[in-house]
Amino acid sequence: MRSRTRLNWRLIIFSAALILVTAGVVTWMILDKRAADLAAMATPTPSPALITAAPSSTPRPTPSPEPTESPVPTVYPTVRKGDRGDLVMIIQQRLINLGYLTGRADGDFGSRTQQALKDYQAVQGLEEDGIAGPKTMIHLFDGSSVPQATVYRMPGDTVYHLKPYCPLVHGPEEIRLSDAVRQGLTECPECR
């Protein structure tokens, strides 16, 4: 009976010791876990918001400068009587197409080409120098050229007529448009 009681006391003490040890280990594990959590909290991890708000290190693409409307410097060589070559031929063909020059373009800037150019300049309101300078060249090829034409006028009248059957014309004489312009005649409003 007595030995059994002592055995029971030993069992109780051993159990208590085991409980205490177990409790201590569990407590230590909990505290250790909390310490690890606290350590993790102490180390600030950058939040996504902060990452987004942080100034980007990638350089912002600099907008390429707008292409400026730079006027294309078009250099027209001046062509005059005595000149020869492809450019003379091009001018002659243009004058032929517009009715100021007859025949075939031969690339030889002679008196006929010079006169045709003067006629063209008269109609276009350009200086009648018979020289294909920059202004004349631009007019020749910019699509604004007025073709040579036969027009009609009444002697003493201040208008020329595009139509020989214009009601305002009676027995007209035929003249060239370039000559009508030179004489200061204006286009008949009835003929438009």
Would you tell me the crossing angle of helices 86-97 and 111-124 to the nearest 10 degrees? 50
Neighbours of 15 (CB within 10 A): 10
* Residue 153 makes contact with Zn ion by CB under 5 A: no
Nearer to Zn ion, 73 or 171 (CB): 171
* Residue 166 makes contact with Zn ion by CB under 5 A: yes
Nearest-approach distance from CB 166 to Zn ion, in angstroms: 3
CB 141 within 8 A of CB 74: no
* Residue 127 makes contact with Zn ion by CB under 5 A: no
Residue length of the chain: 192
* Residue 188 makes contact with Zn ion by CB under 5 A: yes
> Which residues, 6+ apart, have CB-to-CB distance to 89 below 8 Å?
105, 106, 107
* Residue 161 makes contact with Zn ion by CB under 5 A: yes
* Residue 129 makes contact with Zn ion by CB under 5 A: no
* Residue 140 makes contact with Zn ion by CB under 5 A: no
Total of residues contacting Zn ion (CB under 5 A): 6
Q: How far is CA 141 from the centre of its chain?
A: 23
**Applying CB under 5 A, which residues contact Zn ion?**
161, 166, 168, 188, 190-191
